[in-house]
Amino acid sequence: MPWVAGTYPVKLAQEILIWGIFAMSLDLLVGYAGMISFGHSAFFGLGGYVAALCLKHWSPSLASAVLLPAVAAGVAGLVIGYLSIRVSGVYFIMLTLAFSQMLYAAAFSTEWLGSSDGLPGVPRPSLPGVDLNLTPAFHLYVMVFFALAGVALDRIVRSPFGRVLRGIDDNAHRMAAVGYAVNRFKLVAFVVAAVIAGLAGSLYAQFNGYVSPEMLFWTTSGEALLMVIIGGTRTLAGPVLGAAAFIGLQSLVSSYTERWMLILGAVFIGFVLWAPAGLLGLVQEGAEPRA
Amino acid sequence: MERLTRRRFLGGAGAAAATAALGPPARRASAQAKPLKIGLVLPYSNVYAVLGESITEGMRLVFERESWTVAGRKVELLREDDEVSPQVGLRKTKKLIESDAVDFLVGPVSSGVLAAIRDTVHQARQILIVANAGNDEISRERCSKYIFRASFSNWQPNWPMGAWVAAHVGKEAHLIAPKYSAGFDMMKAFKETFVPAGGRVVGEDYTPFPVNEDFAPFLTKINQAAPRVVYAFFSGSQAVRFVRQYDEFGLRARSKLCGAGFLTETDVLPAEGKSALGIITGHFYSTLLDNPTNRQFVREFRETFKKTPDGFAVQGYDTAQTIVHALKATGGDTQNKDRLIEAVRRVEFDSPRGRFRFDPKTQNVIQPFIYIREVREVGGELANVVIDQVANVKDPGTGCTLPG
Are the beta carbons of B202 and B174 closer than 8 angstroms? yes
Round to whole Å and give the CA distance between A23 and A4: 28
Span B85-115, pLDDT tens digits: 898 999 999 999 999 999 999 999 998 899 9
Average pLDDT over residues B63-73: 95
Round to whole Å and give the CA distance between B60 and B68: 9
Residue ranges in chain A assigned as alpha helix (H): 7-27, 41-57, 62, 68-84, 90-108, 135-158, 160-170, 172-178, 182-208, 218-231, 237-252, 260-274, 278-287
Span B280-315, pLDDT tens digits: 999 999 999 999 999 999 999 999 999 999 999 999
Beta strands B256-260 and B348-351, pairing class: unpaired
Subunit contact A108:B180, Cβ cutoff 8 A: yes
Average pLDDT over residues A66-73: 97
Sheet holding B73-81, edge to edge: B69-70, B73-81, B36-42, B104-107, B128-130, B147-149
pLDDT in the model for residue B10? 46
Subunit contact B206:A117, Cβ cutoff 8 A: no
Is residue B90 within 8 angstroms of chain A, CB to CB?
Answer: yes
Name residue B77's beta-bridge partners. Answer: B38
Residues of A in contact with B182 (CB under 8 A): 116
pLDDT in the model for residue A249? 86
Is residue A109 within 8 angstroms of chain B, CB to CB?
Answer: yes
Query: Least CB-CB distance to A120: which of B44, B99, B115?
Result: B115
pLDDT in the model for residue B21? 42
Q: Is B241 strand, coil or helix?
A: helix
Round to whole Å and give the CA distance between B396 and B140: 8
Q: What percent of chain A has pLDDT over 90?
A: 74
Span A159-179, pLDDT tens digits: 999 999 999 999 999 999 999
Average pLDDT over residues A253-272: 83
Subunit contact A120:B120, Cβ cutoff 8 A: no
Is residue B75 within 8 angstroms of chain A, CB to CB?
Answer: no
Are the beta carbons of A22 and A231 closer than 8 angstroms? no
Span B164-217, pLDDT tens digits: 999 999 999 999 998 888 899 999 999 999 999 999 999 999 998 777 778 999
pLDDT in the model for residue B32? 56
pLDDT value at B14 more than 50: no
Residues of B in contact with A118 (CB under 8 A): 86, 112, 115-116
Mutate to test the interface with B, among A16, A112, A115 (most CBs of B within 10 A): A115
Round to whole Å and give the CA distance between B374 and B384: 5
Round to whole Å and give the CA distance between A225 and B14: 57
pLDDT value at B3 more than 50: no
Query: Least CB-CB distance to B80: which of A120, A215, A255?
Result: A255
Round to whole Å and give the CA distance between B107 and B43: 9
Query: Least CB-CB distance to B81: which of A114, A208, A254?
Result: A254
Mutate to test the interface with B, among A249, A258, A262, A264 (most CBs of B within 10 A): A258
Burial of A285 (0-12, 13-18, 19+ CB in 10 A): exposed
pLDDT value at B9 more than 80: no
* Other Cβ atoms closer than 10 A to A136: 13
Residues of B in contact with A263 (CB under 8 A): none
pTM, two decimal places: 0.85
pLDDT-derived band of residue A256, with 50, 70 and 90 as boundaries?
confident
Are the beta carbons of B151 and B139 closer than 8 angstroms? no
User: Which segment of A57-61, A120-124, A234-238, A264-268 scores lowest on mean pLDDT?
Assistant: A264-268
Query: Least CB-CB distance to A214: which of B78, B86, B111?
Result: B86
Task: Identify residue A275 by its one-letter amino acid code.
Answer: A
pLDDT in the model for residue A166? 94
Round to whole Å and give the CA distance between B331 and B323: 12
Q: Which domains, from first to last, does chain B contain?
A: 35-152+290-365 (3.40.50.2300), 155-283+369-393 (3.40.50.2300)
Span A45-55, pLDDT tens digits: 999 999 999 99
Beta strands B73-81 and B36-42, pairing class: parallel
Span B209-267, pLDDT tens digits: 777 778 999 999 999 999 999 999 998 888 999 999 999 999 998 999 999 999 999 98
pLDDT-derived band of residue B399, with 50, 70 and 90 as boundaries?
very high
Query: Least CB-CB distance to A208: which of B44, B78, B90?
Result: B90
Please state, rounded to an integer, the average pLDDT across all residues of chain A.
91
Chain B closest-CA separation from residue A210 CA (Å) = 6
ω into B25 cis (within 30 of 0): yes
Cβ-proximal residues to B214 (8 Å cutoff; 6+ apart), any chain:
B245
Burial of A219 (0-12, 13-18, 19+ CB in 10 A): exposed
pLDDT value at B4 more than 80: no
Q: Is B55 strand, coil or helix?
A: helix
Whether this model's ipTM surpasses 0.85 comes out as no
- Helix H or strand E encompassing B345: helix B337-345
Is residue B88 within 8 angstroms of chain A, CB to CB?
Answer: yes
Cα B302 to the chain's mean position, in Å? 19
Name residue B107's beta-bridge partners. Answer: B130
Span B358-398, pLDDT tens digits: 999 999 999 999 999 999 999 889 999 999 999 999 999 99
CA distances from B51 to B212, B262, B313 (A): 20, 12, 8
- Domain range list for chain A: 7-216
Mutate to test the interface with A, among B53, B90, B126 (most CBs of A within 10 A): B90
pLDDT value at B26 more than 50: no
pLDDT value at B30 more than 50: no
pLDDT in the model for residue B404? 66
- Helix H or strand E encompassing B106: strand B104-107
Round to whole Å and give the CA distance between B48 and B42: 9
Cβ-proximal residues to B52 (8 Å cutoff; 6+ apart), any chain:
B42, B43, B44, B81, B109
- Helix H or strand E encompassing B75: strand B73-81
Residues of A in contact with B86 (CB under 8 A): 118, 210, 212, 214
Nearest 5 degrees, angle CA B355-CA B357-CA B359? 135
pLDDT in the model for residue A267? 86
Q: Which residue has the higher pLDDT, B157 or A111?
A: B157
pLDDT in the model for residue B12? 46
pLDDT in the model for residue A262? 85
